Amino acid sequence: MLAFLFCGLLLAARGSVTWTLSDPEESSFDLAEIKPDLAEKISDTHAKVQEIWLELGRRREVDATEMYAVCQVQPSASLATDQPRVTGLVLFRQLSPGARLDAFFDLEGFPAERNVSSRAIHVHQFGDLSQGCESTGPHYNPMAVQHPQHPGDFGNFAVRDGRLWKYHTGLAASLAGPHSILGRAVVVHAGEDDLGRGGNQASVENGNAGRRLACCVVGASTPAAWDRQKQEHAERKKRRRESECKAA
């Protein structure tokens, strides 16, 4: 509606407005000559509409609060030498401050077991890696609730051939607001999360997920890494479809 009004006025209010009547015998006329007041009013209205339009554009830019974050996963500095050295990336995207979080998890270095295994991943309270992943503290728990209701309780992830690769949407954590996970740590565990069903105190604190293999600090970023991962995701899907077709 606004676009229609804007375009109409843009055409009508160029100072010298020519109106062509539908009958070709009729000559066209200049509105500014016949009705100078009307032409001026249209010109003023056009200027106002343009101002509103530009203002709307500016507000859209301000409101575009998509946020991105990157977490570069490294093996824990305090890890025993016989433990798997997990590395990779965890990427986050939040389309607006109140929206749920989307994430890519792309990790490698797990033992290349034949059977599929599951590993827990959580957000821990501190972005402090000075003592390896041990100094990241307990699960980030701003609402003082039990595990697995913490905002960074991402659950269990399947590992295949030593690799963990997952695109996850609808996560409860946030990059914005007072409970932002920016500056906190993502921790990858050696074991599976019992999701609070383990029947002991540790279960409702951390899911008995075992040793902290690797971790990283969540840092604000541009969309670049997310876009690269999205492209890789699409190519992966394509390759999988092609190999399924060949197998069929």
Among 187, 190, 213, 214, binds Cu ion (CB under 5 A): 187
In whole angstroms, the minimum distance from the beta carbon of 76 to Cu ion comes to 12
Residue 147 interacts with Cu ion (CB under 5 A)?
Answer: no
To the query of whether residue 122 is one of the catalytic residues in this protein, the response is: yes
> CA 11 to CA 42: how far, in whole Å?
10
To the query of whether residue 147 is one of the catalytic residues in this protein, the response is: yes
Judge whether 109 and 177 are in contact, CB under 8 Å: no
> CA 15 to CA 178: how far, in whole Å?
53
Task: Please write down the long-range contacts of 157-160, taking CB distance under 8 Å and 24 or more positions apart.
Answer: 157/105, 157/118, 157/119, 157/120, 157/121, 158/116, 158/117, 158/118, 159/110, 159/113, 159/116, 159/117, 159/118, 159/119, 160/116
Residue 212 interacts with Zn ion (CB under 5 A)?
Answer: no
Residue 147 interacts with Zn ion (CB under 5 A)?
Answer: yes
| Catalytic hit among 46, 119, 184, 189 | 189
Residue 139 interacts with Zn ion (CB under 5 A)?
Answer: yes
Residue 213 interacts with Cu ion (CB under 5 A)?
Answer: no
Q: Is the peptide bond before 148 cis (omega within 30 degrees of 0)?
A: yes
Among 46, 119, 150, 212, binds Zn ion (CB under 5 A): 150
Residue with Cβ nearer Cu ion (140 or 226): 140
| Catalytic hit among 150, 184, 193, 194 | 150
Residue 122 interacts with Cu ion (CB under 5 A)?
Answer: yes
In whole angstroms, the minimum distance from the beta carbon of 124 to Zn ion comes to 9
In whole angstroms, the minimum distance from the beta carbon of 158 to Cu ion comes to 17
Residue 153 interacts with Zn ion (CB under 5 A)?
Answer: yes
To the query of whether residue 150 is one of the catalytic residues in this protein, the response is: yes
In whole angstroms, the minimum distance from the beta carbon of 6 to Zn ion comes to 52
* Residue 166 three-state SS: strand
* Residue 109 three-state SS: coil
* Residue 92 three-state SS: strand
Applying CB under 5 A, the residues found at the interface with Cu ion are 122, 187
Known catalytic residues are: 122, 124, 139, 147, 150, 153, 189, 212
